[in-house]
A and B are shown apart, each in its own frame.
Chain A
Amino acid sequence: MTAAKYVVNEIKGYHGFIKFLIFLVVLAAVASLARFVFGLGATTNMNDTYPWGLWISFDVVTAVPLAAGAFTLGAIVHCFNIKRLEPLVRPAIVTGFLGYSLVCVGLILDLGQPHKGWQVLRYWNLHSPMFEVSMCVMAYTTVLFLEFLSPVAEKFGWHLPLRVLRWLEMPLVIAAAAISTLHQSSLGTFFLIAVDKLHSLWYNPLLPLLFWVSAICSGMCIIIIEATSCHKWMGQPNEGELLRTLAKILPWTLSLYIALRIYSLLVLSEGPFFDFPVLTLSFALELGVGFILPMIMFTQKSVREDDRRRVIAASLVVFGLVLNRFNVSMFGMMDPNQLYYPSIVESLVTTGIIAGHILFFVLIAKYFPIFEHHPETVDYS
């Protein structure tokens, strides 16, 4: 039978949830089309007061740190040589790769002149964090792509490329870590320019460092969540053993973040801090529920050992990060007498991007060997 038929039947076979995801992605595609036909003004709630909306705040500023698992884990496993965690690496890389690809998609929609996006490579402006980030994202996506090639190669049993990739592994991992450090932090640098606009609860010179550290934390937490759900819903082996190790690292990174955060507030920023109750609340949720609480939880053996509690703590961190990124890139810059909320199109696109992420992960997992990977045992020489 023809490829088309094959695909159709294949899809027919999918689980209802997956079909739903496909539906969401299609919706998003339609919405994106509308954006180009009717223009940004008509389809989004962005305007001259809110030049950046949901797409930048989530699809870029938030999505990037959420995809930080890949480089963090890569570093932990290969550099700090904690080989036990190896099995988690590949899924992480896939997530990372998807994450970044979708960031690019988000950007293309958000740019006024996507067809000219490449010009970043032509006109360099070293003073622009946006330039820095664009360069990194492009570079890092390539790295992830290369890393992602291994399972592909394995599936089709290409030996030579595999050997090359194996030999490249270390350099790639290190490059990944270095590049990520730069753009994860530069995302924070974005908002250093908003000196008179961003609320002082969030504006401080340490923004870049804070963005980096929090990205590492959330990166690990995403892995925890991911692995756990793969076990729960995709019938993968329970990696609880390994996740426990991650959970051991987290209290350290989290407390580092919290320490920096408090230092930046008390020492580096001057008020007014609590002039808008809503913002105060948002801040409390972010730091208290999003970082301090999970930090304490992870110090508890009971939490680290127990799959459910562990994943809850991890989710709290992810929540904290998301809220933080929105606070910095949106809520913290709101004009009280002209609020912004995303339009239908904006929301559809973003949900579509999230759905797409999960969808592709599941599909890739379905067709490529991203879980059965145990390099020690296999030998290609």
Chain B
Amino acid sequence: MSSRTDFSKDKAFLIDMTKCTGCRGCQVACKQWNQLEAEKTEFFTGEGYQNPPAMSEFTFTRIKFRDYEKNGQNEFAFYKEMCMHCDEPACASVCPVGAFLKTPEGPVIYRADRCIGCRFCMIACPFGVPKYEWSKGLPLVRKCTGCYSRVKEGLKPACATTCPTAITYGPRDEMIKEAENRLAKHPDKYIHKVYGKEEAGGTSVIYLTNLPFDELGFKPVTMRPLPGYTWQALRLVPAAFLTVGGGLSAISWINHRKDRLKKEREEAAAAEGKNSACCAPTEPASEDKED
């Protein structure tokens, strides 16, 4: 696990949905760069022209369409789903074999050679990003790679490169600054929120929109980094181990000593009918707590 605290220089996506035309160049570019199979779709799976039905082992990013009327006004909105490349990824923290890695460049990558396929990452990810190769006998996990192979060579991700309008890619602090500038410059045009600045403790994908986030289908997420939630319990493991282990040892030592003394006393009594009572001092159980 990376124990970094400064993510400001990580590469991040600024996705401005007020600028997204729903052209889906990103969706195709992603499939092309990652050589992902096309999915067999029928008609449209959702509002507008939405396809495929969801992100999957074959689809790392998808444009979600909203097509509805709101007090007489048409809303035709597009929202790009992808891995959020969290600063402190839940997927990475729960993986028993550390298959996920938050790279210094920003992308959270997945190392298939380590993965044992337990799917804990899928439970953990607050954005429901990791997907599973359900079609296979020995499945692996699949998700947006952040185009690490491109990024570490100094290129932009395929989707960001293709996008004519909506995606800006660069250092996280600059992206956040740019986002805040836009909010300041066109306050009437946006919901006043930089999504991803704090969500899940901060992500490398940052959204601006003109529609309420829940209307776009964003799920509520905590503002705390998720790994913390488990760590606050896991860090007590050594303590618990020593307490229980030490405690029980002590107790049993005392108890067995009691018997022994009892035996001896009986024998002694049997020997000279005399009985000299003595009490044994009891040491307190060792209770050394530490993190």
Chain A residues engaging chain B, CB cutoff 8 angstroms? 36-42, 46-49, 51-52, 75, 78-81, 110-117, 119-120, 122-132, 134, 170, 173-175, 177-179, 181-182, 185-186, 188-190, 192-197, 205, 207-208
Shortest C-beta distance, A270 to chain B (Å), equals: 12
A182 engages B240 (CB within 8 Å): yes
B135 within 8 A of partner (CB): yes
Chain B neighbourhood of A39, CB < 8 A: 134-137, 139
Shortest C-beta distance, B88 to chain A (Å), equals: 10
Chain A neighbourhood of B245, CB < 8 A: 174-175, 177-178
Beyond A128-B120, A132-B237, A182-B237, whether A196 also contacts B221 by CB under 8 A is: yes
**Contacting residue for A196 out of B99, B219, B232, CB 8 A:** B219
**Contacting residue for B244 out of A81, A129, A181, A207, CB 8 A:** A181
Question: A124 vs B234: C-alpha distance in the bound complex, in angstroms?
Answer: 14
Shortest C-beta distance, A328 to chain B (Å), equals: 12
B56 within 8 A of partner (CB): yes
Given contacts A48-B131, A175-B245, 13 further A-B contacts (CB under 8 A): A49-B128, A75-B248, A78-B252, A112-B139, A116-B117, A128-B95, A129-B94, A174-B245, A178-B241, A192-B229, A195-B222, A195-B226, A205-B233
Question: A373 vs B251: C-alpha distance in the bound complex, in angstroms?
Answer: 25
Chain B: how many interface residues by the 8 Å CB criterion? 60
**Contacting residue for A185 out of B132, B140, B240, B249, CB 8 A:** B240
**Contacting residue for A46 out of B134, B135, B219, CB 8 A:** B134
B227 engages A111 (CB within 8 Å): no
B93 engages A127 (CB within 8 Å): yes
Chain B neighbourhood of A51, CB < 8 A: 119, 122-123, 132
B231 engages A119 (CB within 8 Å): no
B96 engages A36 (CB within 8 Å): no
**Contacting residue for B134 out of A40, A119, A177, CB 8 A:** A40
Main SS at interface, chain A: helix
Chain B neighbourhood of A129, CB < 8 A: 94, 230, 233-234
B119 engages A112 (CB within 8 Å): yes
Closest to B224 in A: A195
Chain B neighbourhood of A110, CB < 8 A: 118
Chain B neighbourhood of A36, CB < 8 A: 137-138
Question: A46 vs B93: C-alpha distance in the bound complex, in angstroms?
Answer: 23
Question: A111 vs B95: C-alpha distance in the bound complex, in angstroms?
Answer: 13
B160 within 8 A of partner (CB): no
30 A-B contacts (beta carbon < 8 Å): A39-B137, A41-B135, A42-B135, A48-B132, A51-B123, A80-B255, A111-B117, A113-B117, A113-B138, A119-B97, A119-B114, A119-B116, A123-B97, A127-B230, A127-B231, A130-B96, A174-B245, A174-B249, A174-B252, A175-B245, A177-B244, A181-B240, A186-B233, A186-B237, A188-B233, A192-B232, A193-B124, A193-B226, A195-B222, A195-B226
